[in-house]
Structure 1
Amino acid sequence: MSAADLLLFSRGLAWTVALTVGSFAIGAILAIPLLAARRSRLLALRIFAMVVIQIVRAIPPILWLFIIFFGVGMSYFAISPFAAALTGLGLIAAANMAEIYRGALNALHHGQWEACAALDLGRWSTIRDVVAPQAFRVALPSAASYLIGLMKETAVASTIGVAELAYQGNQLSQLTFRGLEIFAFVGIFYIVLSLPVAWLSRVADAHLRSKVAR
């Protein structure tokens, strides 16, 4: 690999990291109100949230990006490829993270809520001080696995012109006809990116296990 090739890959790496972190952050935040609706006492709100989650998760990521970039972007208002990819992957992340949060809450024993009620803790105190720390520990491994998967899903952004790793690899392979070498190198980049995430999740999980009761 020449210095010019490595420069292209470094630019693609920056876009991949930005898209992964940005869409995961959007998803982690939007998943909270979606989870609240999913667990609402109102049947209509629960059904609405469930339908939204199922629809978002059922449609392939590449189709969402096409809908946002080519559909909304060309019919209503202009949107950059990166913004379209960030929006699409962020919405998908929100649906998946809402289910991860819901699974973590369901894994907690119902006695946790009853004990808090017996201690006369308010709802906000119950969630902040008792439920959330335990649910976070339960959700952490699944969230970390999803983050790694999301990083790989960012490759679909190349189809709408986002110059991330897969896009740069494809462009370079077409110019040099060294497809095997180049895409193997791209694969190594993805492996190197995923290893720190997996390691940090294990460290954080071990730390939380020592601090939070099961």
Structure 2
Amino acid sequence: MAQPFTLAHIGYMLDGLLWTVILSALAFALGGVAAFGVMLLRISRFRAVRLGAFVVVQIIQGIPLLVILFAVYFGLGIFGIQVPPLAAAGIAMMIYSAAFLAEIWRGCVEAVPRTQFEAAECLALTRWEALTKVILPQALRLATPPTVGFMVQVVKSTSLASVVGFVELTRAAQIINNSTFQPFLVFGIAGALYFAVCWPLSAWSRVLERKLHVGRH
């Protein structure tokens, strides 16, 4: 027998939204750290290092996030390692985020005019000093809009974590719908909550893009 939709259900969905935000922040923070390291490998002076990093990134980008989630959650279980749903989702999304952010940031670093590298060499800066003091500050300005835009994808991708039993917003909506049988109402509210989180990020990304465009003319 279907249960009526109540404010308690709204509260449960808000709890799911909170865990969606937590998982997104966890994936973005850990993925960002890993992405920075991968980005450095992608711009290495050594061709073998660049090629190895390229192959790894292409493999990860070519595998659906859902498959990565299953591999982490169920694959590690084969070796007797029990991974909690939050940890499995966080690791999988960290891997996914790192691959894409690394390429975004690599493109921004390489978009910095070559003359900036040459100027750093003329100042007798080491490669690391040139990166940290000259190149990365300029690349950061270029990378901010697409990075913020990618955050929207991360938030929406957290919905896949429901397949490993992690109760984020989508899973909370599924559980509520199973008892209320009101899919249009339940998932409509879930969609509105996703929109409430993602739209400000998208708008912020567009504002940053406009500012960057204006600043270059």
**CA drift at 1:127:** 2.0
Using the TM superposition, name which of 158-167 and 117-126 deviates more. 117-126
Q: Within 5 Å, give how 1:88-99 maps onto structure 2.
A: 88-99=92-103
Cα deviation per residue 1:3-49 (whole Å; 9 max; x = unaligned)? 20111111101110011011011111101111111122222222211
* CA distance 1:41–1:119, change in 2 (3 Å): closer
Return the alpha-carbon distance in structure 2 between the equivalents of residues 74 and 18 of structure 1.
28
Return the alpha-carbon distance in structure 1 between the equivalents of residues 60 and 204 of structure 2.
29
Return the alpha-carbon distance in structure 2 between the equivalents of residues 127 and 189 of structure 1.
40
SS in 1 for 2:167: coil
Q: Determine what percentage of the aligned residue pairs are the same residue.
A: 33
Is residue 75 of structure 2 the alignment partner of residue 71 of structure 1?
yes
**CA drift at 1:120:** 3.0
**CA drift at 1:204:** 5.6
Return the alpha-carbon distance in structure 2 between the equivalents of residues 89 and 102 of structure 1.
20
**CA drift at 1:206:** 6.8
Q: How many residues align?
A: 213
Choose from 128, 131, 156 the match for 1:127. 131
Return the alpha-carbon distance in structure 1 between the equivalents of residues 195 and 129 of structure 2.
40
Tell me the residue number matched to 2:183.
179
Tell me the residue number matched to 1:82.
86
**CA drift at 1:80:** 0.1
SS in 2 for 1:191: helix
**CA drift at 1:94:** 0.5
* CA distance 1:160–1:78, change in 2 (3 Å): same
Gaps of 5+ in 2: none
Choose from 30, 36, 39 the match for 1:35. 39
**CA drift at 1:74:** 4.1
Is residue 164 of structure 2 the alignment partner of residue 160 of structure 1?
yes
Q: Within 5 Å, give how 1:178-197 maps onto structure 2.
A: 178-197=182-201
Tell me the residue number matched to 1:16.
20
TM-score (norm 2): 0.90
Cα deviation per residue 1:78-104 (whole Å; 9 max; x = unaligned)? 110110000000011001010001110
**CA drift at 1:113:** 0.8
Letter in 2 for 1:87: I
Choose from 59, 64, 76 the match for 2:63. 59
Superposition RMSD in Å: 2.1
